[in-house]
Every structure is written in structure tokens, then in C-alpha cells.
Amino acid sequence: MNLFAKQQYLEEKFNDLHFEFYEEIDSTNEKCKELCRKKYIDKWVIIANSQTKGRGRYGRTWDSQAKNIYISFATANAFVHDIVTLNFYLGVVLYRTLIDVFPEIQTHLTLKWPNDLYFNDKKLGGILIENVDNELKWIVVGMGINVYSGENEIPNTATSLQMQEIKDDNVRVRIIERLLHNVYLTNREEDYRELFWEYCRKTQYNVYRYTKHNEIHAGIAQKLHADGSMTIRDTKGQQIHLQI
Ligand code: BTN
């Protein structure tokens, strides 16, 4: 299914948002920031079929070949006391979105703290949050989800929904629709908290992955704190406090 064929459907469904669709763009985050600085701030939703300069966290590049999901939108940072916590909450929103659309993948899906989405042991999606202004009042949230990438198109540490046998023609539209619903529905502190604790309950005493000295380690989640930090028990039984 061509995502652009559904443009009108999304525009009608979320008629207070301003969508821009691009076949190819440098980065949806860049475009979104540029538009927000001009007008409307919280109303833009930028969606692209591919990116030429897709960016990841820590200044990394984000592989952005055609047919995955590249989406950016702006949101107010008014209800969460810092960007760190917001980062974590949005990870939970993304995680929750995929489970809403495909309940059957729940046992395979995890968030690698703070907000990398993993399918089994492979990266499926990520989030890049950037400021629109210097006051952290408005932020742009960019999400990338590997949908149709093939084995030869992404690093072997990553995966896509198609590689995991999720081949529904409408995958991208269904995810975007649910994502926007969840983002705008949960744009209140109490809703974020509810999602946060729901995820927390699920991860308690579960194996959890985290990165330390550039290596991925597994530990047992002990506690997810309200500020997004997490206490882990590592394989030697030691408690580690992970901060974003
Ligand atoms: C990560 O490093 O895990 C975050 C990846 C975020 C990628 C998305 S794709 C849409 C938006 N535009 C970008 O240039 N980056 C984000």
C-alpha cells in the first residue's frame, strides 16, 4: 500500500493537524523544526517515504531507505519536568502503539532503556527529540520504524516488521494512525504516567537490555523511577542505576 494514497484519509481523520508528506526529504525532524519556527508549532506532522540525511541519537545517522516510517511532530513540553523524562514517556507511547496495532508481537517487543524499540534482540525503531526553541518549551519528536526494510538493507543488529513476518499492506497507515491517536490522546501528564507505570509493571523483574561502554548488556529490571532512570541488577548481582 502506498502511504501517499492514504494522505487524505489521515488529513480528514486528524483535521486539526497540518500534514506534509514527502517522497524524499533530508530529515523530517529538520523540516518540522523549520516549519514550527514559522507558524503553528504544535500542529505539524511531517511524514516521509525516505530520508537522505536521517539522524539518530548521539549524532549517528539513521538508515532511511524507502518504505519505512519516518515521522516528526511537535509537542509541548509543559507537562513533564524535563526532556529526559519526556524521552522515556514517548518510548512507552511508541511501544504501546505497536502493541495496540499488533497485539500478537507483545512477547517479542521491548524497549531498550530509555527508548529504543527492539523486536527480540534487534532494533526496530528509535526516537530523536530536539528543541524547537531554547527554552525547551516546544520540542520536535522524530520517530523511525523499520517496516519494509529487507535483510540486506539494514545492519544485522536491526530488523523490520516485514522481516518478522508482519506483512499487512496497510502497516504504515495503521501504525501512524494509532501513533497520532496515542500521542495526542496522551498529551496529558496523567495519561503518560498511566502508560509509564503499565510498562513499569511489565518490566519489573524482566530481562532488560542497556548500553554501557558501547556494549549491550542484559540485566534484571528492579525499578523504573518516575524520572525515567532505572535500577538494574546485572549478571553479577550488582545494582546499577541507569540515568539517561
Ligand atoms: C535513534 O537513534 O534511535 C533515533 C532514530 C530516530 C530516527 C527518526 S526518523 C524520523 C526523524 N528524522 C530524523 O532525521 N530522525 C528521526
**Residue 40: its pLDDT value, please?**
73
d(CA 160, CA 126): 12
Q: What is the pTM of this model?
A: 0.85
The per-residue DSSP string of 185-218 comes to HT-SHHHHHHHHHHHHHHHTTSEEEEEETTEEEE
**What is the SS3 string spanning 57-100?**
HHHCECCCCCCCEEEEEEEECCCCCCHHHHHHHHHHHHHHHHHH
d(CA 59, CA 81): 24
* Closest C-alpha to ligand 1, atom 15: 55
**The C-alpha cell of 185 is what?**
490522546
**Residue 203: its pLDDT value, please?**
64
**What is the SS3 string spanning 159-176?**
CCCHHHCCCCCCHHHHHH
Which residue ranges have their beta carbon within 6 Å of ligand 1? 27-29, 51, 54-57, 60, 62, 70, 72, 116, 126-128, 142-144
**Residue 232: its pLDDT value, please?**
84
d(CA 109, CA 107): 6
* Closest C-alpha to ligand 1, atom 3: 126
Asked if 98 contacts 179 with a C-beta cutoff of 8 angstroms, the reply is no
**Residue 22: its pLDDT value, please?**
96
Atom of ligand 1 nearest to the CA of 115: 3
Q: Where are the domains of the chain?
A: 3-200, 207-244
Backbone angles phi, psi at 98, to 5 degrees: -65, -35
* Closest C-alpha to ligand 1, atom 16: 142
**How many angstroms separate the alpha carbon of residue 239 from the centre of ligand 1?**
31
> Which fold, 3-200?
BirA Bifunctional Protein; domain 2 (3.30.930)
pLDDT means per 10 residues in the chain (244 residues)? Answer: 80 93 96 89 90 94 92 74 69 89 89 84 92 78 95 92 87 94 72 66 66 77 72 86 75
239 CB-near residues (< 8 Å, 6+ apart): 222, 231, 232, 233
Ligand 1: which of 29, 141, 157 to mutate, judged by most atoms within 8 Å of the beta carbon? 29
**Residue 73: its pLDDT value, please?**
94
